[in-house]
Structure 1
């Protein structure tokens, strides 16, 4: 997933609004130093255990915590609270590295989860078909020219202790075309945010590199999806600008005659790390990472706020630092994968926050121009303020 993030530079087409800055809707303030939640060189079960996605947590039926955000051999950090999380070496969802793209079982990351009762858990999986690793599947040997990405679903009936894939695969969001030997660039939907609730509805953001086609041009950007039943992967629909009506089914089983499109939501130039709802005001707060340029004065983590999930205010810098979208050469380290979690949230899925929360994120050590697997999952306390 290190290499996959480099391609997100392709999404840098949607920046902050060019209009004069408006008064901020919210304020996020760092109020304490970082502390380590997981250290790969100390806490790993094997070489696959590195933080490689934004942290996602939920409470199981017993009240214990499960936190995901690791690599494509999916394991969870577990414990009674956020101060006592430890990596459970049980693999809850492995990656089959299978050469058939129609199976959606090459490399998979659990990137979002939702549970109502702590037992039945619906997961969104960032699936990468890395065609350059499979002979005859890509004319190029360049990773970025062969990458075919899809959001698929997995489910658990034991509180996240194990996940299964549906047969046939349960596709949540796929590009309306199959993997191509000569595709030449990264394609598809990828990097779901956390799932978050508003009344009967559940939402998540996902990124797409877009596509061109007869009567169906999909711009690159971040799209908003909605469902009233996350346990049903076919129920998710994306915002089109007029309603939540766009479906992106499996092109291997239901080819689209006229592909639907979603309307990207500004001001996100890259995948949304996390969204939480401020409990006392109802405002939404999102965090993400961005590189310097295209309206962003510095590389680092940014936040923005919204009243309706579609109109967001001007992003503001929370932490400055080189990210996975920056050139790593010469850097001592990078920062990546921000998320917001309030340990005091009454929500089983930690999709809301009070006036304090934890910013969870990953630091990655660099050697020369190489991003290494020496990574830490950190947390840092932040104060949240939203104006009426």
Structure 2
């Protein structure tokens, strides 16, 4: 799972141990944007060569954290064999080689069970934790599923649900096909011209009676669906309860394309709340209580033709639907050359957040990013101090 690959979504939820403050949007008013800066010099939290359990134990997803009932912090930025860093504080986190979850590498795309990443978490109580799994079907890794041999054409992604009953030490797939909460309306075809995705979901955010997740949509077969979309549900454990924003309301209910004939996929495609002309990939979603606004961290490759520098940007909203213009937080070209250049998968996490899901931030959170390299041993997870205004 890299930002250059496609990805997807499906969500699940439960009773929050700490509901977020409710922000009631009266009109489609975009608040003044939150701005800020991140230190160019980073602190290395994890490096594959120094701490990895094997060469594939790479930080390959946005950093997510939660605090279990015993007070232990679990930090994930996992590869498709999911492991965590744990500790009583962010300063004492240590990488654990125990496998928390992994997919079954199924060669049948209808199984939604190939290469899996744990990407988002919701603490239900001290021991029960819900997670969103990012599942990628890699056609090129299965006989007969990718005649072209081109990974960009032979990929389809979905999000599934998983549950832990031991405080996040092990996760298990939720019974039933939780991917049906939000899957692209297409069946995988070995001869398809391009991959498709609802992908790279943010962390789960509670607002009022609903649980929200933002995700990236890439639809090569219909226009108007590319960008950052949003879905919500009142019960994340029930895939049938999930609804996606269609431009006027949360009215789209996804169906399993392998069991249900979808006559007109264009009508059930999501409507982006951040268009494809925005920065790029969503990384994290946070609530800033001092401003009573939401902050979305995104990454831009700087290749969109609109003059944006590659790096991390932040956007601001009062209602999760209407977003400010992106504000540059950290440009890749400002980062010391010995720290990896491009910094992917931005995620804002505040170690001082009282929320067990670390969904709230203060004025000085940490920006977590991943630097990738040709040699997997050089992949690293970095943290940088941020000042928000």
TM-score (norm. length: structure 1): 0.86
State the Cα RMSD in Å.
2.4
What is the SS of the residue equivalent to 1:208? strand
Write the mapping of 1:32-71 to structure 2, written as runs, cut at 5 A: 33-71=41-79
Q: 2:197 aligned to 179, 182, 188, which one?
A: 188
1:313-334 per-position Cα deviation (integer Å, ceiling 9, x unaligned): 11121111169xxxxxxx9642
Match of 2:159 in 1: 151
- Find out whether 1:120 has 2:131 as its counterpart: no
CA apart distance, 1:258? 4.4
Task: From the superposition, tell whether residues 233 and 85 of structure 1 become closer, same or farther in structure 2 (CA, over 3 Å).
Answer: farther
CA apart distance, 1:7? 9.4
Match of 1:321 in 2: 332
- Find out whether 1:219 has 2:222 as its counterpart: no
* In 2: Cα distance, 1:288 partner to 1:173 partner: 21
Q: 1:201 aligned to 206, 210, 221, which one?
A: 210
Q: 1:361 aligned to 357, 361, 369, which one?
A: 369
CA apart distance, 1:23? 9.4
Contact 2:242–2:253 (8 Å) recurs in 1: yes
* In 1: Cα distance, 2:298 partner to 2:372 partner: 17
Match of 2:281 in 1: 271
1:31-87 per-position Cα deviation (integer Å, ceiling 9, x unaligned): 584211111111111222110000011111111111111100011111101111111
Match of 1:327 in 2: none
Across the two proteins, how many residue pairs are aligned to each other?
A: 358
Match of 1:283 in 2: 293
Unaligned runs of 5+ in 1: 9-21, 324-330
* In 1: Cα distance, 2:318 partner to 2:197 partner: 29
1:101-123 per-position Cα deviation (integer Å, ceiling 9, x unaligned): 11111101111111131322221
* In 2: Cα distance, 1:371 partner to 1:225 partner: 37
What is the SS of the residue equivalent to 2:271? coil
1:221-268 per-position Cα deviation (integer Å, ceiling 9, x unaligned): 211011122233332211111111212232223333444222111254
Q: 1:249 aligned to 244, 247, 255, which one?
A: 255
Q: 1:377 aligned to 357, 381, 388, which one?
A: 381
Match of 1:19 in 2: none
Contact 2:49–2:55 (8 Å) recurs in 1: no
* In 2: Cα distance, 1:99 partner to 1:264 partner: 31
- Find out whether 1:311 has 2:322 as its counterpart: yes
1:174-221 per-position Cα deviation (integer Å, ceiling 9, x unaligned): 1122111211211121111111121222111111212547xxx66222
CA apart distance, 1:134? 0.8
Contact 1:49–1:70 (8 Å) recurs in 2: yes
TM-score (norm. length: structure 2): 0.85
More strand by share: 1
What is the SS of the residue equivalent to 2:167? coil
Which of structures 1 and 2 has the larger relative contact order (alpha carbons within 8 angstroms, sep 6+)?
2
